[in-house]
Chains A and B, each alone.
Chain A
Amino acid sequence: MPRLIEYRQAIREALDEELARDPMVVLMGEEVAQYNGAYKVTQGLWEKWGDKRVVDTPISEAGFIGMGVGASMLGIRPVMELMFWSFYTVAWDQIINNAGMVRYMSGGLINCPIVVRGPANGGTGVGATHSHTPENIMASFPGMKCVCPATARDAKGLMKAAIRDNDPVMFMENTLLYGEKGEVPDNSELPEGELFIPLGVAEVKREGTDLSLIAHGRAVLTCLKAAEILEEEHGISVEVVDLRTIRPLDEETIFESVRKTHKAICVDENKPFCGVSAQIASSIQLHCFDDLDAPVLRVSALDSPAFYSPPIEKLQLPYPDVIVAKALSIC
């Protein structure tokens, strides 16, 4: 029997296992301890690990994220929760200038093994300020790493890699995925005794021969739905590549797929201007120019701030029909 658990529980397991493995790991953020987390990701961890390892902070993102960055310079491994990734703007300077730049500016003398995690998504009717998807922004700074898991399994394995990584890792979850169940093997079933997925390794989530859909985060699930429709209704065989990590980026898996299918659509919930898909499209045209039978297309969030009204906001994010229509335009 495969073990099905929620995405949030998968992350929780990774946090729990890392707390057990390394006494330097500390979880911190607003409501992560006594309240069990605004989205219940950290449920039960404060009870199990106590005040020293799981810490509630006041609403002071610049202060506590910066504190985490400073502590990481001394070898602490803070895993900081932003209740919404959208609040990164309050801690912008600490994340970008301090976590992101100190290694370079110190000529490699200092490094920041910090993880900043939380949900980064639109689609929940919380308005423009709470619906940011900053993976493209974070990944645009050399020195930063950025992870966007789409499934429970990936969320667990990648979180463990993120915590053990010696560079700052921006880990972006999704409130719409927290309740999604996925197959996550129990540690006892694994030869290594744990689930560990290295950063910088994409995964082909569905194999196909006619078209590559390249996505990350929740857009992967949207692509899988679109792929089914394209297969069933149009006889088009679609491959879905899940980037999993935005930076480091597994370009080889993307290129391999495109060399096979000769057509690519990059799908993301980023805004289109300089979004993740823009970077990928640029890389594909550079490295796979002769393999392409059609221009590389993109499907991103519509180019406006998030609209509150639920039925309208749904239209702002990629949904299967849009991807299907795009695919049909080149297949």
Chain B
Amino acid sequence: MPILSRMLYYDIKRRVKDGFFIGYNLIFPLVMIFLLGYLTSESYGTEFTGYHYYTVVMLPFCVAMAMITAAYAGKEDAYRKTALRLLFSPVTKAQIVLAKLLSCTIVISLCNIMVLSSASLIIRLPIWGAFFPVILLLTIETFATCAIGLFIGLGMKNFIIVKNILNIPICAGGILAGSFYPIGTLNPKLNTVLHLSPLTWINKSIFLYVFDHAPSLLWKTAGICLAVGIIFTGLAVKFFKREEYSHGDLPGFDQ
């Protein structure tokens, strides 16, 4: 346990200093919310504004994008050659995986809290009664996406390929969930398609909780995310291969 907490501490420290990491998870969602909210401000009323809409849909989408960040975090030690040091020192593969997973989850969740608090302050998102449950759902979603990202990242040598592969389903899921443009439909077939995206369920849970005070879907969604996260954490530890972990070059990566 003390070794894991040491690893976690330094991983968090390095993640907080990582401009890309903070850019993707703090700056990007804020910019998107304000940009899209501003561009669409005329299509909404005064009670429920475009800013409100995009705060709710952008955060889960950015958390899904964190899958790529986590995959990178999983490969980073290979590129820095420090993977070798972790492998020959007396640490277990579970410690290596958990340190990465928890550091990503914690730092991204802190970013989410900052984005959600600034959004609720600046654009008066009526979140106060729902702040804690929404953050909890986002944190659990972060845990799940990071676990999936790590599982994939740790198993593949080339991060660029991982990134290109992951980009497609994440963006498709985002489009279906209305992350970029609201999609509402009465067509039952299309509706079924929209609900194929996990992000649709997460967005819906938050909308229902915040605006309709209907909490049950949020708890169900959180439970499913938690289960997915735990399963992928187990898989990431089980399929951790020392060779895959230490090998890999990132074109253009120079220490």
Please determine whether chains A and B interact with each other in the same assembly: no
Q: Measuring CB to CB, which residues of chain A are less than 8 angstroms from any residue of chain B?
A: none
